[in-house]
Amino acid sequence: MNKDNQQSVSFVWLTAAIAVAVMLIILNYYALYIVLLLGAVCLIIIYWNFLVRVWRTLPRDAILIKNYSIYFIKIRIWNFLGCDTYAKIFKRNVDKHPNKIAFKHESSTWRFIEVEQFSNQIANYFKEQGLKRGEIVALYMESCPEYVCIWLGLSKIGVTVALINNNLRAEALAHSIKVSNCSAVIIGKEQIDALAEIISTTTDDKLNDLFTKSNVYIKNYNDTALINTPISNAINLDNELKEVSKSAPETDISEGSSKDQMLYIYTSGTTGMPKAAIMTQSRAIYMAMGAKHIAGISEHDVVYTPLPLYHTAGGILGVSSVLLGGSTCVIRSKFSASNYWSDCLKYECTVAQYIGEMCRYCLASPPSEADKTHQIRLIMGNGLRPQIWTDFVTRFNIKQVAEFYGATEGNANMMNTTNKVGAVGFIPFIGEPFYPVTLIRVDPDTNEPIRGKNNLCIKCKVGEPGLLVGKIRKTTENSFSGYVEKSASEKKIIKDVFSKGDKVFNSGDVLIRDEYNFYYFKDRTGDTFRWKGENVSTSEVEAAISNIVKLKDCIVYGVEIPHTEGKAGMVAIVDESNDLDLDKLSAGINKSLPAYARPLFLRIVKTPVSLTG
């Protein structure tokens, strides 16, 4: 008997029991008790399997609900006290332990008070330059403590910071800067050549206007390094900050609110070029504090993050352990498998972040003493494949894995804190009616939702693959901020899903749920695939390659490689005239695309028909 029939039968039994009870209550109370007891027994028999699952998962669910409640109450208290932005909450941590180490990076350390003072200088300087609340600044730098201080400081005066992927080059870089509608760009010395290239080649009036004015600020460079580049009018930010006040811009900070747009974080989502997803103050706080409390990270932890700070995992979840939680964070500019565990040992880390590819690289590295002598008690991330999960935690002596699922622009998030191999999260049975995440049936060919006779979507059964959606509600934690480009936001929303007029966020991901409400990732819909921890847009890669090969037809798609996370890129190019220049193709791809977006495989076909055959 399926669940729908069970519910129908139980409703009939319950109605009959109530009717009989009402009749007998006047005649005989003992008879009433017997009827109610029989009704309860019938319900237990009907729902026996469900009740057994609830009982078995009760400890798991109780822990999650406890941690979630603590996090929810803490944020409500902060809001009551007026601490509804990163700047206000971080100031509480600064006052609590000003001399505690906030960040470690290579051989440098930053105390909480130093982060506060430098971010204040950033705020005061750019306010003096005329930046106003609501304006945007693009940040294009390597991961380092200054990176965090810059966006934190700008947020203090209400300026939104667009976090540009520091791997981007050429058209993708120009596109990301342009769509941000920024008034200024801050870059690191490592990005000078990449920015100089688009300055010298762009024909876009909007970008030309931005770059011809002194709107480019460079951190950590010598003036002489820019003499012969197209950005010689750039401003040395280090020199400019030397005499700037370290006092907090109190008035601007007090004017900040939870609704302020704090960051733009770029994502390919499931279609097209990089899109700027809006990260408001409240959304970032709810996301970061939820991960912190559910995973069990405390202010005494030292968190290791070799993840890029332009993405949510490192840039929000990682550094927020410091800004919101009072922990210490170790930042590594670029991931290194050979140094991962030695870094954790060196900096005495207790929590480490990962993405699935990192775990495979670490397993492939030669054994070392640091493999088991580190102090890591918890690793947190996403993409740890079931095939290597057990080997990874065994070799590196990991006590707990917090594997999570989430989308930067979405509201469908969950976490697996039970060490259940392969699961990306779970939803408590008793919390299922209230948590806004579920799976719906979709057509495997069109990826469109399948609707029933009432024209509403159909929820998936246990073990049935389905599209993960998040119900959009007016509450802060379940809201959907979407993208800067409103039309892109609309494409991620499905309407009239479970009732007329409701809306859900379309994650673009297909998951499966088991009988204990654990969720497992299965596949992505749309025209993207995931490789080296990044979403690769097939249309973006196709556009770049088409220009390189003189507008020949081409398609790009992801292919699976055994024992490897994600899908590697393959490009199929139509070469009817047999004049494809492979050397030019290789050089063009290396110049135009970041490493993770470059196809690993090439197919050359003679006719367009072959592309689909």
Could you give the CA distance from residue 318 to residue 284 in angstroms, rounded to a whole number? 12
DSSP output for 174-238:
HHHHHHHT-SEEEEEGGGHHHHHHHHHH---HHHHHHHHSS-EEEES--GGGGTTSTTTT-EEHH
Q: Where do we find the tokens 């159909």? A: 458
Phi then psi dihedrals of residue 175, to 5 deg: -60, -45
CATH topology match: 82-334 vs 429-522? no
Write down the pLDDT at residue 21: 62
Could you give the CA distance from residue 16 to residue 531 in angstroms, rounded to a whole number? 58
Q: How confident is the model at residue 142 (pLDDT cuts 50, 70, 90)?
A: very high
pLDDT tens digits for range 483-510: 888 877 888 899 999 999 899 998 888 9
Helix, strand or coil for residue 107? coil
One-letter identity of residue 196: A
- Flag whether pLDDT at 270 surpasses 70: no
User: C-alpha 84: how far from its chain's center?
Assistant: 21
Superfamily, domain 429-522: Luciferase; Domain 3 (2.30.38.10)
Dihedral class, residue 44 (left if φ above 0, else alpha if ψ from -120 to 50, else beta):
alpha
Per domain, the residue ranges of the chain are 3-46, 82-334, 429-522, 528-611
pLDDT tens digits for range 447-480: 889 999 899 999 999 999 999 999 987 765 556 6
| Mean pLDDT of the 177-189 span | 93
Q: Which of 374, 381, 418, 378 is nearest to 298 (CA)?
A: 378
Query: Cα–Cα distances in Å, from 576 out to 547, 586, 589, 606?
Result: 17, 19, 21, 5
Residue 135 CB partners (closer than 8 Å, separation 6+): 159, 160, 182, 183
Q: How confident is the model at residue 229 (pLDDT cuts 50, 70, 90)?
A: low
Buried-exposed string 31-43: b where 16+ CB fall within 10 A, e elsewhere: ebeebeeebeebb
- From 96-105, 164-173, 367-376, 526-535, the region with the lowest mean pLDDT: 526-535
How much is the mean pLDDT over the chain? Answer: 87
Q: Are the CB atoms for 252 and 127 separated by under 8 Å?
A: yes
Write down the pLDDT at residue 431: 81
pLDDT tens digits for range 4-22: 445 445 555 556 666 666 6
CA atoms within 13 A on the CB side of 367: 7
pLDDT tens digits for range 515-542: 999 999 988 776 778 787 777 878 778 8
Write down the pLDDT at residue 227: 55
Write down the pLDDT at residue 580: 87
| Mean pLDDT of the 403-431 span | 90
Which residue has better confidence, 138 or 357?
A: 138
pLDDT tens digits for range 184-209: 999 998 898 899 888 888 888 888 88
Could you give the CA distance from residue 386 to residue 449 in angstroms, rounded to a whole number? 28
Residue 557 CB partners (closer than 8 Å, separation 6+): 529, 538, 569, 570, 572
pLDDT tens digits for range 570-598: 888 888 778 888 889 898 888 888 888 89
Superfamily, domain 528-611: ANL, C-terminal domain (3.30.300.30)
Is 82-334 a CATH 3.40.50.980 domain? yes
Residue 250 CB partners (closer than 8 Å, separation 6+): none
Q: Are strands 328-331 and 101-105 parallel, antiparallel or unpaired?
A: parallel
